[in-house]
Amino acid sequence: MERTVFAYRRKDGKVGVRNWVVLIPVDDISNAIVETVEKSIIGVLSLPHSYGRLQFGKDLDLFFKTLIGIGTNPNVAAAIVVGIEPKWTNKIADSIAKTGKPVEAFWVEGHGQLRTIEKVSRTAVKFVEHVTNVKREPADISELIISLKCGESDTTSGLVANRVVGKFVEKFLDIGGTVLFGETTELTGAEHIVASKFKKEEDRKKFLELFNEYQELIRKQGVDLLGSQPTEGNIVGGLSTIEEKALGNIQKIGNAMINGALDFLEPVPGKGLYFMNTSSAAAEAVTLFAAANAVIHLFPTGQGNPVGNPILPVIKITGNPKTAKAMEEHIDVDISGILTGALDMETATDLVWKRVIETACGRLTRAEILNHKEFVLTKLYRSA
Amino acid sequence: MRGTKFTVRGWEAVIAFLVHKDGDDVGIAVIDLKKGMTARGKTLTGNREYSLTVLEDIPFGHKIALKNLQKGDKVVEYGEIIGVATQDIPKGAHVHIHNLRSLRWGGE
């Protein structure tokens, strides 16, 4: 099994597979600046979003962790943070700077938009020149953090794609890799199985607390998630209940044991397999994993979900032959041959492994090629 | 190149449905099942084979009942409960949201 990837080794020791200069707006009203700069300078990536004003408490904390986490992700080589005022802007920039990567902060108040655009642009030119001179170096595949989330699942997910990802995960963990999974509500009906896999009792308890916390939030609204979970796409694909969907979902972690349970963007304490509390909505979960410093995402899909992320390459894997044909341009690894007997599980797992190596070395994923840059912050409650 | 290596070979001598675990109440159609056909199935590990008459058209990816189920029976897939039968479901029938309901959400 090939293990060497050619990737970017950052000053903090982390290994990234992309080399972006990101322009991070602190708030919705700074999007205009970063979007303007992105249009005039090659090699920069703006990350516009809808939040950053009047958030408070746990929600504000998660907001900061998300933007800081995106900046510290090893797929990011340098960052420019742009906000309306200096305090929050510097807070984010200073935290990213601890990684040792080039970071600058600019704010609009007292300067105006046009002068700020000029300052951001001049810094961006220098950063792009600098980061494009950084060379890829050999690294072991186990140094990568890989995240998992499936989407537009159907019954082929539980039969084929999620099972193959589960086999990949077992192999990857065996050589010391790190894997993150989440989708808290989509474990409903299989949470007892997930709970039984924690290595430590305290993590099992914490997982169940996080799981029950969201179930309680649903109950408090006086509703349930029927109509949302399973989704209409899931139902077309043959999934009938949340329990069935969840039992398919958890095939992604195979028979691996879980090293820990983490709330939203709690630091990943070491190597191994970790549950992280996330939304089950694709773009939200993938963005959260990007902020948790995952550098490659495996996304098994049944009916075909086109989701991508600006900084985290998303590898689409399907076991559904109809989707592989109808949505060909979205699919990176077609393992639908398993259903016809044309492909066995081992070979399919090797195909995923090979694609992870290639993606880590710079091969673009279909989501990247198709310009999918969904950047969706997880919001815990409404702003003040 | 992609798309050429794993060309679907056609469905000859096919396994028409797959079963996650021996003892499950449902299997998953891996071809479009047609009313009246005799469908062959097997568990994923291949340790058990099935043969039954399909009672109605069941699209690819949808579930087929492997035994007679009564209204109120808990329905098992993956060796786990996936919901409850909301009506009697005969062996060979389509099992989906019209006759299977979550025990977690959507209850009265």
The band of B11, judged by pLDDT with boundaries at 50, 70 and 90, is: very low
Secondary structure (3-state) at B95: strand
| Domain, as residue range, for B45 | 17-101
- The CATH code of the domain at A20-131 is 3.40.1400.10
Q: Is the predicted pLDDT of residue B12 greater than 60, yes or no?
A: no
Shortest distance, CA B19 to any CA of chain A (angstroms): 9
Residue of A nearest to B100 (CA): A240
> Cα(A375)–Cα(A48) distance, rounded to whole angstroms?
8
Quick: pLDDT tens for B53-65: 999 999 999 999 9
To probe the interface with B, which of A212, A252, A255, A339 has the most B CB atoms within 10 Å?
A339
Shortest distance, CA B29 to any CA of chain A (angstroms): 9
Q: Is the predicted pLDDT of residue B38 greater than 50, yes or no?
A: yes
> Cα(B97)–Cα(A171) distance, rounded to whole angstroms?
36
* Residue B6, in any domain of the structure: no
Q: Tell me the residues of A at the B interface, defined by beta carbons under 8 Å apart.
A: 154-156, 158-159, 188-190, 193, 224-226, 229, 235, 237-238, 240-244, 247-248, 302, 320-322, 328, 334-337, 339-343
Shortest distance, CA A156 to any CA of chain B (angstroms): 7
- Its pTM stands at 0.96
- CA A133 to centroid of chain Cα atoms: 26
Quote ipTM for the complex: 0.93
Residue of A nearest to B28 (CA): A155
Residue of A nearest to B63 (CA): A238
The band of B13, judged by pLDDT with boundaries at 50, 70 and 90, is: low
> How many domains does one find in chain B?
1
Q: Is the predicted pLDDT of residue B10 greater than 80, yes or no?
A: no
To probe the interface with A, which of B8, B102, B103, B108 has the most A CB atoms within 10 Å?
B102
pLDDT on residue A229: 82
| A334 to B2: CB separation less than 8 angstroms, yes or no | yes
* Residue B48, in any domain of the structure: yes
Residue of B nearest to A345 (CA): B44
8 Å CB contact between A157 and A150: yes
pLDDT on residue A341: 85
Per-block mean pLDDT, blocks of 10 residues, chain A (384 long): 97 98 98 98 98 96 98 98 98 98 98 98 98 98 98 97 98 98 97 98 98 92 84 95 97 98 98 98 98 98 97 98 97 95 95 98 98 98 94
* Residue B107, in any domain of the structure: no
| A217, two tokens | 């939030």
Domain ranges of chain A: 20-131, 140-369
Which residue from B2, B8, B61 is facing A155, i.e. has the nearest CB? B61
* Residue B87, in any domain of the structure: yes
* CATH number, residue B64: 2.30.130.110
Asked if the C-beta of B2 comes within 8 angstroms of chain A's C-beta atoms, the answer is yes
| B84, two tokens | 């409850």
What 3 state SS string does chain A have? CCCEEEEEECCCCCEECCCEEEEEECCHHHHHHHHHHHHHCCCEEECCCCCCCCCCHHHHHHHHHHHHHHHHCCCEEEEEEEECCHHHHHHHHHHHHCCCCCEEEEECCCCCHHHHHHHHHHHHHHHHHHHCCCCCEEEEHHHCEEEECCECCCHHHHHHHHHHHHHHHHHHHHCCCEEEECCHHHHCCCHHHHHCCECCHHHHHHHHHHHHHHHHHHHHCCCCCCCCCCCHHHHHCCCCCHHHHHHHHHHHHCCCCECEEECCCCCCCCCEEEEECCCCCHHHHHHHHHHCCCCEEEEEECCCCCCCCCCCCEEEEECCHHHHHHCHHHCCEECCHHHHCCCCHHHHHHHHHHHHHHHHCCCCCHHHHCCCCCCCCCCCCCCC
Residue of B nearest to A156 (CA): B61
Shortest distance, CA A348 to any CA of chain B (angstroms): 11
From B89, B95, B55, select the one nearest B77 (Cα to Cα): B95
Asked if the C-beta of B8 comes within 8 angstroms of chain A's C-beta atoms, the answer is yes
Asked if the C-beta of B90 comes within 8 angstroms of chain A's C-beta atoms, the answer is no
Shortest distance, CA B73 to any CA of chain A (angstroms): 15
* Residue B30, in any domain of the structure: yes
> Cα(A170)–Cα(A313) distance, rounded to whole angstroms?
21
The band of B4, judged by pLDDT with boundaries at 50, 70 and 90, is: very low
